[in-house]
Chain A
C-alpha cells in the first residue's frame, strides 16, 4: 500500500490557536516523513520532516509527532497566525534509491485574525 491518508480536509483556527493535521500510512517501508506548505499558485515548500527513529521534532512553532506503532504522524502549528493560512501536505518516502514522495490529499488551513 502506497497511500498516505490525511485529515482533516479543511481546518479553521483562531489566531493564536493550535492547528493539528493528521496523517496515517500503511507501508512500513516508508522511512522519511516531510510536511510541505503550499500557497496558491506556488510550489510546495518543505516545512519540517522526521525519520521514524524519532518520536517528535520541533522547529519554531511547528512540531511533528510520530507514532511508529500506530503508523501515524501529525503536524502541530502552535500560536497559529493568519500568514499560516495555506494548504499543508504530509508525505512519505519509501526506503530505497528512488526519492519519490507519496503525498496526502492536503489540508486547507485558514487562520482567522
Chain B
C-alpha cells in the first residue's frame, strides 16, 4: 500500500514569493495534518483538515493557508515567503473514528527561501 505522498520533494523560492505544497493521504484516510519542521527541531503543527473542514490551526500567521479536496488530498499555501519559512513541511494522514490515533507522515517537502 502506498504511504503518504508529498510533492514536490524540494523547492527553492525567493522572499516574497508564494508556494503551494501538495499531499495525498494513505488510501482510506480522511484526515490530513500539516507540520513545519525547522532543522534541529521537532515538527510544529500548522493545520488539520477532516472531510474538507479545518479541525485545528496552530500558531502560524495568516500567510499560511490550506485546503482539502473531495478525494482527501490537501494543499498547503504560504504567501509572502520569509527566510524563516525555510523548513521541511510534513503532511500526516490519519483515519477517523473508533480508537484510531495514529498519524503517518510523508517524506516531506524541503522548502528553501533565499
- Chain A interface residues toward B at CB < 8 A: 6, 32, 34, 36, 41-46, 49, 89, 91, 93, 97-106
Contacts and interface: CB of A to CB of B under 8 A. Distances in A.
B39 to A, nearest CB: 11
- The A contact surface, by secondary structure, is strand
B33 A43 contact: no
B42 A93 contact: no
- The B contact surface, by secondary structure, is strand
A22 B92 CA distance: 24
Contact of B42 (A32, A49, A105): A105
A49 B102 contact: yes
B43 to A, nearest CB: 5
Contacts of A98: 48, 55-56
Contact of A89 (B43, B48, B94, B104): B43
Interface of B: 4, 31, 33, 35, 40-45, 48, 55-56, 58, 88, 90, 92, 94, 101-108, 110
Contact of B101 (A32, A45, A104): A32
A11 B41 CA distance: 16
A100 B101 contact: no
Nearest to B58: A100
Contact of B104 (A46, A97, A103): A46
